[in-house]
Amino acid sequence: MTGRRQVALAVVLSILLLLASSALASLTAIELVRVLDPRMGRELVGVIIGAMNNAFIALATFELALGMGIVRVASFAAGSDRLGVLVRRIFTRFVSVVGIALTLEGLIMVVRYSPVDLGRYLLYALALLLGIGVLLLGLAVLVNRVQAAVLRRRRRAAQSNPAASRVVAGTAPGGHGMTVGQ
């Protein structure tokens, strides 16, 4: 894929994610307004926690949209070497916010169904918690793979440039070596 196509794809995905984020934020506002209607008969705590859950997911989607669109376009346009760091930051934020939202949803289910002895519904909460674990493991694999790719790229650059090899090895003037996260 050419650089222009990558930038165009990043912009399109960013716009789609921003639209999804605004839709979720609107849904959150609608739920909070509907709870004020006495005819709805829904419990206040459940609706507020559900609205918070939607707000967390909207925030995560917004973060991902901004990270994919603005930051990625700027890094591609400038030919930045810090793409690995940006990817790690973007996806770490996204997965952590989604993990918080899923944890809240699991907690809601446990609190709602455990006093009523509806154990079959607690399986859904367990599935949510297992899903969070899978998300976190996937994030760990992603961060590890991106970090390894950045390190390989720096080693290749160091082999082609002797001055850079001293910096990577930690023998640069001043005694400060580069770390992978820089």
**Is the pLDDT assigned to residue 5 strictly greater than 80?**
no
Cα 82 from Cα 180, distance rounded (Å): 10
Residue 181 forms part of a structural domain: no
Of 56-70, 71-85, 106-120, 131-145, the range with the highest mean pLDDT is 131-145
Residue 111 forms part of a structural domain: yes
Higher pLDDT, 168 or 28: 28
- Over residues 68-82, mean pLDDT: 57
For residue 21, the enclosing domain spans 3-169
Residue 99 forms part of a structural domain: yes
Look up residue 42 and give its DSSP letter. Answer: -
If one counts the domains in the chain, the total is 1
Residue 182 forms part of a structural domain: no
Cα 175 from Cα 169, distance rounded (Å): 10
Q: Is 103 left (phi over 0), alpha (psi -120 to 50) or beta?
A: alpha
Residue 153 forms part of a structural domain: yes
- Over residues 147-172, mean pLDDT: 70
Residue 179 forms part of a structural domain: no
Tokens representing residue 43 in the block: 């419990």
Q: What is the pTM of this model?
A: 0.56
